[in-house]
Amino acid sequence: MQRIIAAAKTTAAPGISDQVVNELRDAATTAKTKTSEFFQNLPSFLTRLAIAAAVLIALIFLVRFIRYLIRKTARRRGKPEVIHKDETSRSIIASVVSYIGYFIAVGVFLSILGLDITQILAAAGVVGIAIAFGAQTMVKDLLAGLLIWGEKSITIGDVITVNDLSGTVEAMSIRTTTIRNFNGNVYIIPNGDIRAITNMSRGFKRAIVNVPCPYEENQERLVAMVKEEMEIAALEIEGIKSVPEVMSIVAFEPNSVTLQIAVPCPVGQHWRVERDIRSRVKARFDKEGIIMPHYNYPKEP
């Protein structure tokens, strides 16, 4: 540094040289002071950093423990719909606790480091105006999640169709809803994207089977035959408590007429009931020698 100052004296013009030398001397003094202060405050800073990190880790574990307690406690036995509503409430509350808990943990971490939270929040408010448009989607998801939870339109365990995606609701948070379809695929849907919901898990489900019948057969005989078979099915198919209703002709197709069979059944069981009804109708038609309409592919020459 002395060489630099000496060089400045020899090369600078009179008057200007003194100014340059003073500025260099001030810069050197400031750098030396800052360096000294840094090394003096380093042990204290490292201590605060270690304490802040320990507190942050402890708070994160506390939040996770509270989430665990919310999910595992207060489980009640009863009807499935009651259990599913309780599970949904616990899932949403756990999600809210996570957001609030992690926010508090970060605030405590910064406070221990000596940062002014008030100034940070004020700066965040200014920055928030700038990023408000970018955060609209998240805010929409959060509000939609609260509305879905409050209205109880869907709960964990429900079989639903949302945005042309069908499956069973596996998890719900304040921001997203997770469903799994029959193939095992998992769909995570932002709550803000949920519009029309088809819920197949409320009250009961109706199993509906359309049976194509040949035009050549007597329709009254076909209806009587199917009704007789459905009376037997009401006694043997698990889950149905009434005789399936057989509606005569519900549609005309190019090569067949359509009979329709409908019966209320437990939620989530309509696929099995429909399969059982189809199997019984096909077996009865085979027994009576009735050939169901089908397309014959032309033989290759």
Quote the distance between the C-alpha of residue 253 and its chain's center. Answer: 42
Could you tell me the residue ranges of all domains in the chain?
1-201, 205-288
Q: What are the contacts of 224-230 at 24+ separation with CB within 8 A?
A: 225/284, 225/288, 226/259, 226/261, 226/281, 226/284, 229/280, 229/281, 229/284, 230/261, 230/263, 230/277
pLDDT at residue number 301:
54
Q: Quick check: 141 and 175 in contact, CB under 8 A? A: yes
H or E stretch at 141? helix 117-151
Cα 101 from Cα 174, distance rounded (Å): 14
Instruction: Output the pTM of the full model.
Output: 0.50
Residue 184 in tokens: 């095992």
pLDDT at residue number 130:
47
| DSSP-derived secondary structure letter, 167 | E
Q: Over the Cα atoms of the chain, what is R_g?
A: 37
Cα 123 from Cα 44, distance rounded (Å): 27
Angle between helices 80-112 and 117-151 (to 10 degrees): 180
Indicate the SS3 state at residue 217.
Answer: coil
pLDDT at residue number 80:
54
Cα 157 from Cα 168, distance rounded (Å): 6
Q: Quick check: 178 and 170 in contact, CB under 8 A? A: yes
Cα 225 from Cα 217, distance rounded (Å): 12
pLDDT at residue number 283:
92
Cα 175 from Cα 177, distance rounded (Å): 7
Using CA atoms of 140, 159, 93, 189 in order, give the dihedral in degrees to the nearest 10: -30
Per-residue pLDDT in tens (0 to 9) along the chain, 301 residues: 455 445 544 554 455 666 666 666 667 677 667 676 656 666 666 777 777 778 778 877 877 777 777 766 655 555 555 555 566 667 767 777 777 777 777 777 777 777 666 665 555 554 555 455 556 777 788 788 888 877 778 888 888 888 888 888 988 888 889 999 888 899 999 988 888 888 887 777 888 999 999 988 888 888 999 999 999 999 988 888 889 999 888 888 888 899 999 998 887 788 899 999 999 999 999 998 888 887 555 555 5
Q: Quick check: 148 and 191 in contact, CB under 8 A? A: yes
Q: How many CA atoms lie within 13 A of 282 on its CB side?
A: 9
Q: Which residues pair with 258 in a beta bridge?
A: 212, 251
Q: Which residues contact 248 (CB under 8 A, 6 or more apart)?
A: 219, 223, 259
| DSSP-derived secondary structure letter, 269 | -
**Architecture of the CATH domain 205-288:** 2-Layer Sandwich (3.30)
Quote the distance between the C-alpha of residue 100 and its chain's center. Answer: 19
pLDDT at residue number 249:
84
